Chains A and B, each alone.
Chain A
Amino acid sequence: MNHGQTQPATVKERSHIALNNEFLRKAVKFTTERLRNGKKKASEEHGNWEEWRERGKQIRLHTIAHLDYYLNQFVENARANGVHVHFAADGKEAVELSMKIAASKQAKSVVKSKSMVSEELHINHALEEMGIEAVETDLGEYIIQLAGETPSHIIIPAIHKNRYQIAELLSKEAGETLPADTSILAGFVRRKLREKFLEAEIGMTGCNFAIAETGSMVLFENEGNARMVSTVPKTQITLMGMERIIPTFADLEVMATLLPRSATGQKLTVYMSAITGPKRTVDGDGPEEMHIIIVDNGRSLQLGDPEFQELLNCIRCGACLNACPVYRHIGGHAYGGTYSGPIGAVLTPALQSNVAEWDDIANASSLCGACYEACPVKIPLHDMLVYLRNRKVEKGYGQTAEKIGMKGFAAIMSNSKRMRSVVKLGQIGQKLVVRQGLIKTKIGPLKGWNSVRYLPSLPNESFRERWDSLVQEVKNENSPMSEDIRTRMEQALKQRENGGRSHG
C-alpha cells in the first residue's frame, strides 16, 4: 500500500490484490508461522500460561475500569519527574503538539522508534511537510519507509516483503548492490542510522506501557534503536495511546511475561527500558527535555461501551494476526487501516464514531476464534466482529439484498412446516442443476462457492421425512440401558439442578 496511491475501497477488492500476490502470501505465511510456533513453544514452556493470561486480562480490565484514576496518577507522577505531559483529543491535536515542540527546538531531523500510534497519526507525513526529516530506526519500519508504504503487521511492519525485495530496496539506498544476506543488510542500515541518531534534535518513541505509580514509560524492543532514540537526541517526544496505563511495576511483571512470548515467542525482548523522566545530573545519558503526548483519537468511544471496552485491553502483541487464517492469506494492507488482522478489523471501525463509514472489514472473518485463543489478555475479538455486524444492521446500513434474504430466512426458520416445504421445493427444483449428485453451476449466489467447490445435492428424503420410518426400524435395535449409563445420566441431571453445568 503506497502512500500516494489510492487503494480500492473494500476489503474484498484489496484482498483480491493480495491473493494474487504470491510473494506476499509466501512471506506472510513464512513469518506468521514462525511467530506462532514460537509463541506456542514459549507458552507451553511457561507452564501456567492460562493462569497468567487470566491475570493479564484481570489487570487490564481493572485498569481500564479505573482509567481516569490511573491516568491522573500517571500524569501527576510524570510531571513530578519533570516530564511535560500533554493531552491530544484527536490525531490532529497530537500532530500539532508535536509540531510545536519540533518548531521550538528548531529541529531539522527526528529519529523515531517503532510506534503504531504515530502511524495512526501519519506524523511522518506532517513532519516532512514542515521540512523536518523523520527517520524510522526500527529495521522493519525503515524498510517500509524506504518503500513508501505503511506497516502491514503490528510488530513486523515489513512482514509482506521477502529478503530479496528488501535487498533490492536497500541497494537502491546504498547506491551499490547488496547481497540478500540478513547480517550484511542489517549492518548497512546500522551504519546509515548511526549518522541519523547523531544528527537528530528530537527522538520520538511509542510506549508499550505507562506505569501509574511511578510515572514511568516502558519500551520493549530487540534492536536497541529505541534506546538510542531515547538517549541520544536532546529532546524526547513519546506518543502514547491513553489506554497504555498499568497501575504498578508488579503488573509490568505480568505484562513482560505475556507480551514478548505472545509476540515472538521470546522470554523477554532483547531490551526493555523503563524511562522515568528526563536526564538528571547523576545520569550518564538521556534527553534534557521529555514530552509525553497522551492520545485519545477515538479511544474514549470504547470506554463505557460494554461490547467494545475490552478493545482497550489490547497490548498490541500481534498474536491474533499470526494466528488468523484470513490474515495468513491476505496480509495486513488488505484490511485498509493502520491496524490489521483481527484486532484491526474491530479496532479500525471502533475508533470511528460513524458507523456508516465502516466498510466490509467486519465481514473479513470466518469467526473461527483463533484470535481469541491466541490473545494474551483474552479479548473476545470473534464476538466483537459479530457485534460490529449487528451495529451496522441496527443502524440501518445493512445491504438491501441481504436484508430481504434475512427476512426470508426468519420467515422460513420460524416455522418448521415452512422449512419443510422449502426443502421439498429444493429437492424438486434442484433436478434442473444436479449432475451425478452434485451441483456445479456457477450462476447466482453459487458463483463464489462453486468457483472452487461443488455443492452436494439434497437427498430425496430429509431427516424429518425419514424420521417416522427410522423410529420403527430402530425400535428393534434398541438395547436395554445399562445401570451405569442410567446412573450417569441421572447424575448429570442432578448436577444441573444444582447449577453444575451451565456451559459447554
Chain B
Amino acid sequence: MKVSLFITCLSDAIYPRVGEAMVRLLARYGVQVEFPKQQTCCGQPAFNSGYWDEARESARTLLAAFDDSDFVISPSGSCTGMIQHYYPKLFEKDPVMLEKSKRLQAKTYEFTQFLVQVLGVTDVGAVFPHKVTYHPSCHGSRLLGIKDEPMTLMQNVKGMELIPLPFAEDCCGFGGTFAVKMSEISAAMVSEKAQHVLETEAEVLVGLDMGCMMNISGNLMYQGKPVRVMHLAELLYEGVKLA
C-alpha cells in the first residue's frame, strides 16, 4: 500500500520539520511514507483569489504526483480541504480531470484523520510535560469536521496539561492572501488570537495548519512572547522520544 506525503508548499519551504515528524511517527507503525517529488502546491492561493486557471495549473501537479498512491496524507487541514471541497468544482467542466479529482479526494487525509480514522491510533505513547493550548484551524474543523481526532490524541499524551483556548473557534486572521490584502483587519484578528493564547499561560501553542501557526507565532514573536508554536505531529513525535 502506497502512502504518499503531500507536504504542502508552506511546510516544504518553511517547516520541513513538520513533514519529518510525520514520516518518523508513521514509521513507528510500519507505515513507510513516500514523497513524490513532482508535487508543488494545492493551488489554494490562486483559487481563493479567484484565479482559477492558475489554480488548475497548480492542482494538476498534485493530480499527477499522487495518481498511483493509495493514501495521500497532509499536515494541513486547509490544503486537504482544498482537495476535498474545491477540486471537483475547479474541474467541473473537464470530465477527465474531474474523475482524477474525485479519486484524489477519496484517498486524501489530513494527518490526524489518517492516524485516528484509518490506522486506529489514538495513543501514540507520548509524554510531554508542558502546558499546551490548541487552536483548531477553521478549514480543518469546519470543512473537514476534524474535531475529535486531535483532541483524543492530545488527551492521551501523558504529563501534558491541555488548557482550553478562549474563543478557540475564531479564525486567527490568516486566510492566505487575506492577511496581505486586508492586512489591517487581519492584524486585529491575529492580535486578539495571540492575546487569547497568552491568557492561557500555555508554554506551547499547537495546531494542525502551519499557515495559521505561522500567523499566530509571527505575532507572538513580534510581541516578544516566548510561546513555542508547533504542529501536533511535531509535538507527538517529540513526546514519543521523551517517553
Identify the A interface with B (CB < 8 A).
11-12, 15-16, 19, 325-326, 328-330, 360, 363-370, 372-373, 383, 386, 388-394, 398, 402-403, 406-407, 409-410, 412-416, 419, 423, 426, 438, 445, 447-449, 451-456, 458-459, 461-464, 466-467, 470-471, 474, 477-482, 484-486, 488-490, 492-493, 496, 501-504
- B219 partner, pick from A394, A426, A453, A486, beta carbons under 8 A: A453
Give the A-B contact count at a CB cut-off of 8 A.
257
* Cβ-defined contact, A364 with B219, below 8 A: no
- A383 contact set on B, CB distance < 8 A: 85
* Cβ-defined contact, A504 with B47, below 8 A: no
* Cβ-defined contact, B12 with A464, below 8 A: yes
| CB proximity of B66 to chain A, nearest CB, Å | 13
* Cβ-defined contact, A389 with B175, below 8 A: no
* Cβ-defined contact, A481 with B45, below 8 A: no
Instruction: Assess A463 versus B27: contact at CB under 8 Å? Given A402-B49, A488-B119.
Output: no
- B65 contact set on A, CB distance < 8 A: 416
- A464 contact set on B, CB distance < 8 A: 7, 12, 35, 37
Give A128 to B23 CA distance when docked, in angstroms. 70
- A419 partner, pick from B29, B41, B70, beta carbons under 8 A: B41
Q: Which residue of A lies closest to B137 (CB)?
A: A368
Q: Which residue of A lies closest to B191 (CB)?
A: A452
Interface of B: prevailing SS: helix
CB of B150 closer than 8 Å to a CB of A:
no
- B53 contact set on A, CB distance < 8 A: 410
| CB proximity of B208 to chain A, nearest CB, Å | 13
| CB proximity of A477 to chain B, nearest CB, Å | 5
Give A268 to B187 CA distance when docked, in angstroms. 38
CB of B180 closer than 8 Å to a CB of A:
yes
- A453 contact set on B, CB distance < 8 A: 187, 190, 215, 218-219, 221-222
* Cβ-defined contact, A502 with B11, below 8 A: no
* Cβ-defined contact, A364 with B184, below 8 A: no
- A368 contact set on B, CB distance < 8 A: 138-139, 142, 171, 175
* Cβ-defined contact, B185 with A15, below 8 A: yes
Give A471 to B86 CA distance when docked, in angstroms. 32
Binds A, one of B103-111, B126-134, B154-162: B103-111
Give A53 to B86 CA distance when docked, in angstroms. 23
* Cβ-defined contact, B57 with A366, below 8 A: no
- B190 partner, pick from A369, A416, A452, A463, beta carbons under 8 A: A452
- B121 contact set on A, CB distance < 8 A: 485
Instruction: Assess A458 versus B14: contact at CB under 8 Å? Given A369-B138, A478-B32.
Output: yes
- A366 contact set on B, CB distance < 8 A: 138, 171, 173-175, 178-179, 186, 189
- A447 contact set on B, CB distance < 8 A: 183
